Each structure stands twice: as C-alpha cells, then as structure tokens.
A and B are shown apart, each in its own frame.
Chain A
C-alpha cells in the first residue's frame, strides 16, 4: 500500500475510532484524534516524494486515486491545518459536549478534503465532495439550536453547488463517456464549444459555492461565525480552498481549449474583484469578530480567484501563494479570535476590549495575521500582493488592479478595527479575569505566525512547490529566487534587503526609545488618559468601538445605496423568505434529505434525457 491509501484509511478509520473511543474512554479520544491528524501529516509528507496511483473498480467505473504536484500543494495545506486545528481544539473544546461527534466530523472533513485532492476520477471526487459537505454541515449546526437555519442556508447552497457539479459530471459523462480525469482531459477539446462552456460554468458554480464567490457567498458569513472556532480555522483556511482547487483545475485543465473561455475568465476575474471589494466593505461594518473575518475570508478568496482567472504565470503564482498564505493567516486570525472567545465567551467587538496585556501571545498572533492580510511588508502577505498587482498591471487589467487595490486598502480598516476592538483600547474591569490561553492552543498560532514571517522573507521557499504545481497545470514558468521576486518587466523586489532594512531601523529606533530615559518612563493604566481634565464615572464607556467607521460608511453610502446595496438587500430578503419556506421543506431529518436527493437525481435523469438526448 502507498501513502495515499494510508492517509485516507487512517483519517476515515480514525474518525470512526474517535467516535467510539469517546463513548468508551474519554481521555484517549483527544490523543487518538491528534495521532490520526499527525499521522495524516506524516504520510502527506511521505507522499510528496512519490508519485502513486491506486486504481480499483466499482461497478463499471474505475476509481482512481493519485497525487500530482498540484494536489500535493493542497494536501500539505490540509494536513498542516488539520493537525494544528485538532491540536488547538484539544483545549478549546475541552468543556464542550458531544465531542465524539465533533472530532468524528472534523476528521471526516479532513478525510473528505484529502479525498478531493487525491481523486483522479469524477465519481470519487463527487463522493468525497459530499462527504466534506455533509460533515462540515454537521459541524456548522454543532453548536446550538440557533445554528440550524444557518446550517440550512449552508446546506442549500452546498446542494446547489453539488447539483451543478453533478449535472456537469453527468454532461461530461454523456459527452465523453468516461469519468477518469486523465481521459476527460484528453477528450475535452473534442466536445462542442457550447457544451464545453456550459460544463465549465457548471463546474465553476459548483466549486464557486465553496469558495464563496460573490453571488454564491450568502451562506459564508453566518456559517463561519457560528461554527466552533477550531473548525472555522479549517473551514476558512482549507475547506474553502477546495473550491479554489476545483476552479484551478477547471480553468487550466478543462478551459484551455475554447477561445470563448477568455470571456469566462474575464467575467470570473471581475466577479473576484467585486467579491473582494464588496466583501471588504461589508467586513468593515461588522460588529462580530468572526463575521468580520468571514467577510474578510470571502474577500481574500476573491483575490485568489482574480489571480487564477487572469492566468498569467505570475498571477497564478500569486493566487497559489495566497492559497497557502490565506490558509495560514486566516487560521491564525480565527484561532486568535477563538482564543478571545475561549476566555471571554463572546466575539462581539463592541464589548470585548483591551486584552493586549492579558493575552500577549494571542495579540502577537493576531498582529502577524493582520499584517499578513493587509499585505504590508515584511510579512508574507506583501509578496502575494506584490505578485498579484504586478501581474494584473502587466496583463493590462488596469481597472481591475484599481478595484483590487481599493479593496486591499479598505482592508486596513476592518483589520485595524479587529485588533483595536479586541486587544487595544481601554482595559475594562469586566475583562480583568482574562488570562492567556493554554499552551496547546498557543502552539498552533505561533507555528503559523513563524510561517508567515518566513514566507515573507523567503517567498521562494513557498514558491518552489507552487512552481511544481504550475508545471502540472500547464507548464507555466516564472522567475524567482529564494527571496527575490521578479515581474515580467524585469523589475524586482528583494525581500531580504527589505527585512534587513526594516529590522535594523526598527531595532535601532526601538532600542533608542526604550533606553532613552528608561528609569523615568513609567507605565500608566488606560484609565489615566486625557479626558479633558474630567474624571470619568465608573460605568462610562471610554472605548470607541460602536460604529467605528461611520464617516467611511457615510462617504460610500450614496454609492452603495444607489446601486448594489438595494439589489443585494432585496435578494437577501427574498432569500430569507425562501429559507423560511425551505425550513418547512427541510425538516432537519436526514432521511428526508436523502429522499430529496433521490428525487432530484431522478428529475435530473429525466431532464438529462430531455436536454442532452442521452440515457444514463
């Protein structure tokens, strides 16, 4: 047997064992879960060096599992994040109930994702896709009763995605008569152009749901914010990347034949741009930290989609670099917010404040996270942003680059609000009991922080596997060195110099300001501030957090109100009503869902016959 089989076997079997052990010997449960994730990580690293393929047949279909450089990239992301989240979940979830359920589903999600990236045929892809969707749905509704409508929303959208995937798969089978990826890729150019585009669009829709492109993002903010933090880190960090994985496959493997695909790509790029901008604007006005991060996640995925859709070597590299980085920093941010939740019991940015001196390491994690997201040097985000901008400018997407830049500048707003509201500001009495989270929660955060720092200084280390993956995607090559990036015009940025200069100046200035008058410098509490000479009352709130960006809101209000906002709210309202209706349809009973799926499938088969003139 080879590593891939081990990975899938261990993860899925581990999921079941964890569930059983939970009911038998509780303390062992965590250890088993961590061991499963760790061995998954071990075998993923093992598999990097080997190129394997498992083939076995079920019914008439060949099930093929194998790894490619492209899938390796994602597998490492899944393995690392999966391991770290389970490590993080050990303490975070310690007090919760139904942990067997939680760990089982978490491991199922991880296993499903492994399956997706290792699938070499569409049947197993779809199977693992559904495993991932179902188990993640169960995790979304894990927390409480309020999560059920949100879970439904997620499920409905996932179902839309799954059905469009299914239709596409059916169409592919109808057109090519084969479901093996390698065969399909060879024969894809032979089918009619209309069908090519229809299939591609359907596949993009299916994958787009998971990566929350703008019209399909409705589920994401709520689902991200309601699910338990360790899972959210995985959800946003790795699970959403499965959509990106698929989109990448579609854009570079399927869509490379017809000339019309350039239009699809432009539309997709602009969709990504709009997603990035609007999600950023929505993120700015959130009051819940997890919701803010959810919108931020949607926006970041917009950048990735732009990078993939633009399709120059540098932009693909930027997108894949962002995939890795987004996995890291979004996990960091969700973990850090989770740490705040762990200690304070809320993620409401209007009430939590001033935790910096109580949770310094969580603060550092969040600081690294927001610096990475904002793309400010010297951390990894800058390299990604740099490549993205350069590639957009050089591929003549002048207005798209403006949109992206506006979005990423506006991102400073919500990032500052996030770190300011939770960690900076007044240190209030009501949070005086808060202390730093346990070591096991800190380790994942700090590992990821170290990673984004290294990725910033030596982007080449991350770009090595990416360039291998790009070789697989379509022989895209681009020039880079370990810490030097080049654009297509030959201009370069030397990250090593940047970090040296910044580090040296920071050190000198820092030492100066620390040791200048060290003895006469004293710390005062945040209550001792300039309040115009007055002494604030006990119950008066000196933290400025409510409606933090009111002026900005007013500035963009006419634009938003005039066009998008109204349509969007209208759609949103209608959707809410639709979900109200759906609540009656989806009773929450698994069997009913199964029945619906069967119903839909049979309808689909009928339609398939009508439309495509084939019989399944």
Chain B
C-alpha cells in the first residue's frame, strides 16, 4: 500500500501533529514575565485550548519559556533545566530583554542575548508581551513544529561547543555536572 518513505512521512505527520498540539511548559518563571503566564493559562485566555499545559519538572516538559531577562545566576539553572529536558524541546524567549537586554542593557547581572546561550526557536517581543502575544508565539512555534523547523535541540547538540564557550564566559564558576550527550 505504502512504501517505506511514504509510511515514515505519515508517521512524521502524526508525530508532528501530536507534538504541536501538546506543548508542556516547564514551570519556571525566570523573570517578571511570569506574571503574564497565569492569565495566559487561566480562564480569560485559556492556553489549554491549544494543548499548552504546565508541567512540574523538566523531564516531562517540551517547552522552556524564558519569561524575561536572565540573571547570570538564573542562567546557570536554566541551562541545567534545559539539558534535563527530553528531545524534542523548544525554547521560547519571552520579552524584549531576552532579545537584546531591553531596559537592562547596562546591567551587570543580566545577559543580553538569549540565543547565545540557548537555542531559541521563537522570540516574543514586548515589555511585557500580552497574553495574546504569548499565545501567538506558541502558535508560531506550532507552525514551526509542523513544518519541522523547530530544531533547537538539534542545533544545541551540534553546536554544543560554541554554546558551552559562551556559557562558560558568563558563568565564572562552572560547576555543572557533565551530561552524557
């Protein structure tokens, strides 16, 4: 009926459909953007319609939502959380401060560009982005997933050296446990 290639294509379509409609967000409010997550998740905007749901631990999660600026101290925890997540995994940068530092451009304690340290799939602009913007960011991510373009985890694995170098530059005392990638 089908040949192998077609069959694997169909499997891919099913997989991507399931992946895109079931995005579990790890419960980590890294910055002030966390305040817009409750409205996004609850009755007014109800992100659960799209299958977006919180998950308590990184092991179960698909999406790491960086809600705002990352201080150096948090970056370390975020990297660890990200590396404990299971592939495929996606990162959404939330708010201007993840893009270029935003209003914290001269702060000594926040990083200015998130994609130097973690592979970002989608950025959401604004300070702070409204829940509608968050949902539109998720929908953009869903599009990318269904097109197979949300390959942040792959990029991270392939360019691990480069990411590590950047991370080490910021995190002075590198005491991260080694992962068997």
Contact = CB atoms under 8 A, between A and B. Distances in A.
A and B assemble together: yes
A533 B177 contact: no
A533 B28 CA distance: 9
B80 A533 contact: yes
Nearest to B179: A528
B80 A535 contact: yes
A490 to B, nearest CB: 48
A533 B179 contact: no
Contacts of B1: none
Interface string A512-529: 000000001010100110
B180 A533 contact: no
A533 B66 CA distance: 14
Interface of A: 520, 522, 524, 527-528, 530, 532-535
B180 A522 contact: yes
B78 interface: yes
Interface in B166-181: 175-177, 179-180
A530 B84 contact: yes
A530 B78 CA distance: 12
Interface of B: 28, 57-59, 76-78, 80-81, 84, 87, 175-177, 179-180
A530 B177 contact: no
A392 B81 CA distance: 54
B59 A530 contact: yes
Contacts of A532: 77
Contact of A530 (B58, B175, B179): B58
B81 A533 contact: yes
Listed residue (B57, B78, B177) with the most chain A CB atoms within 10 angstroms of its CB: B177
A471 to B, nearest CB: 58
B180 A524 contact: yes
13 contacts: A522-B180, A527-B177, A528-B179, A530-B58, A530-B59, A530-B84, A533-B58, A533-B77, A533-B78, A533-B80, A534-B80, A535-B80, A535-B177
Nearest to B74: A533
Contacts of A522: 180
A-B pairs, top 4 by smallest CB distance, nearest first, are A533-B77, A530-B57, A533-B81, A533-B80
Given A527-B177, A528-B177, A534 B77 contact: yes
Given A522-B180, A533-B28, A528 B84 contact: yes
A284 B78 CA distance: 39
Nearest to B80: A533
Nearest to B77: A533
Contacts of A533: 28, 58, 77-78, 80-81
Contacts of B176: 535
Contacts of A530: 57-59, 84
Contacts of B177: 527-528, 535
B68 to A, nearest CB: 16
A524 B57 CA distance: 16
A532 B27 CA distance: 10
Contacts of B77: 532-534
A530 B61 CA distance: 12
Contacts of A524: 179-180
Contact of A535 (B28, B175, B179, B180): B175
Nearest to B59: A530
Contacts of A520: 87
A530 B82 CA distance: 11
